[in-house]
Amino acid sequence: MKPASMRRLIEDLHGVAKVPLSVHCHNDFGMAVANSLAGVEGGATQVHVAVNGLGERAGNAALEETVMSLHMIYKKKTRIKTKLLFETSRLVSRLTGVIIQPNKAIVGENAFAHESGIHTRGVVVKPLTFEPIKPETVGRKRRLIAGKLAGKHGIKSELAEAGIYPNDKQLSEIVNRTKELGDKGKMVTDADLFAISRAIIGIPEEKLIDLADLAVVTGTGVIPTASVKLVLDGKEYVAAETGVGPVDATIKAIQALTDRLVNVRLTEYRLEALTGGSNAVAEVIIKVEDKEGNVVSSRGAREDIVMASVEAMINGINKLLMRRK
């Protein structure tokens, strides 16, 4: 059946059968909702639906899609409490074990998510440009996703909602790091974005020490070794150290190179993998103390644990040097 045929069928029946008519459509051609709505146009007063479109074969007409279409397009009200649609959808998905496809209308994970720069800009300024339905109407919230298509405006808005306000230079670096992750095919979560932002905002404006190169060797039967090249006062210095692991070896090499400038001791090291999967963004939080008793905290956030540790360590040393200066 197609919508035009369904409407004609119900109109013909409506002219003969003087009783309420129901329509019960399956989604074999992806037209269950369209055919159901066409039935309403033809005079049907009842529509058979299922939460999340569950049903035999390709499923039945989806409750959430049918209801919102009736309410917003046809201006026909039902007694459904639309603010509970998303919550109900999740409950049914959890109990049945049938996963909701991310791009499903109304209740899909991406239904109110915006990533590309022009979309996030438009939806923040005038939501109707990309959202025909207000997310709150169905119990949802708008999500501005950070990813390879993300723009400054969207990321800035998302950070502002979390109370994070980077300056222009910091925002550019946050956007660049986010796009790098997106280019590798990673979905950048809020936790990833906030960790990246915290790390970048914590970087001193003036860096006396910076990483030029890093090489790490580790494996079975091999003593973990790190070779580090740092830029100190405009000159490059290289050191290699061994350790119990690649992170330990790298930090020891950095300490060896910076010993003459600031003798630091690592007093605390904490690692958090922010999302699942082997490509999770790792946030490293450290505390370092110099021989004068100054203590600073710093962060690093990268996919690579070693690089996150290096970033945190160099940020901490720069903070100590700036404090002395």
CA dihedral 282, 287, 288, 293 (to 10 degrees): 170
- In degrees and rounded to multiples of 5, residue 171 shows phi and psi of -60, -40
Q: Which domains does the chain have, with CATH numbers?
A: 3-96 (no CATH), 113-201 (no CATH), 209-324 (3.30.160.270)
Instruction: Please give the helix or strand (H or E) that residue 120 lies within, else none.
Output: helix 117-125
* Cα separation, 285 vs 199, whole angstroms: 9
Residue 292: left if φ>0, alpha if ψ -120 to 50, beta else—which one?
A: alpha
Rounded mean pLDDT, 138-164:
71
CA dihedral 180, 181, 186, 192 (to 10 degrees): -150
* Cα separation, 123 vs 129, whole angstroms: 6
Is it the case that residue 185 has pLDDT exceeding 70? no
Six-digit token string for 76: 């026909």
Six-digit token string for 78: 């039902």
* Cα separation, 159 vs 298, whole angstroms: 20
Query: What is the model's pLDDT at position 68?
Result: 93
Rounded mean pLDDT, 253-268:
86
- Encoded amino acid at 77, one letter: K
- In degrees and rounded to multiples of 5, residue 93 shows phi and psi of -60, -40
Q: What is the pLDDT of residues 189-238, one digit of tens each?
A: 666 777 788 888 877 767 788 899 999 999 888 999 999 999 987 889 89
- In degrees and rounded to multiples of 5, residue 162 shows phi and psi of -95, 5
Q: What is the pLDDT of residues 152-161, one digit of tens each?
A: 777 787 788 7
Q: Over pLDDT 70: what percentage of the chain?
A: 85
Q: What is the pLDDT of residues 243-255, one digit of tens each?
A: 999 999 999 999 9
Q: What is the pLDDT of residues 72-120, one digit of tens each?
A: 999 998 999 999 998 899 899 888 888 888 788 888 877 777 655 555 5
32 three-class SS: helix
The single-letter DSSP state of residue 280 is: P
Query: What is the model's pLDDT at position 72?
Result: 92
* Helix, strand, coil percent content, the chain, rounded in steps of 5: 45, 20, 35
* Cα separation, 68 vs 139, whole angstroms: 12
Closest Cα partner for 80 from 64, 91, 60? Answer: 64
Split at pLDDT 50, 70, 90, the class of 274 is low
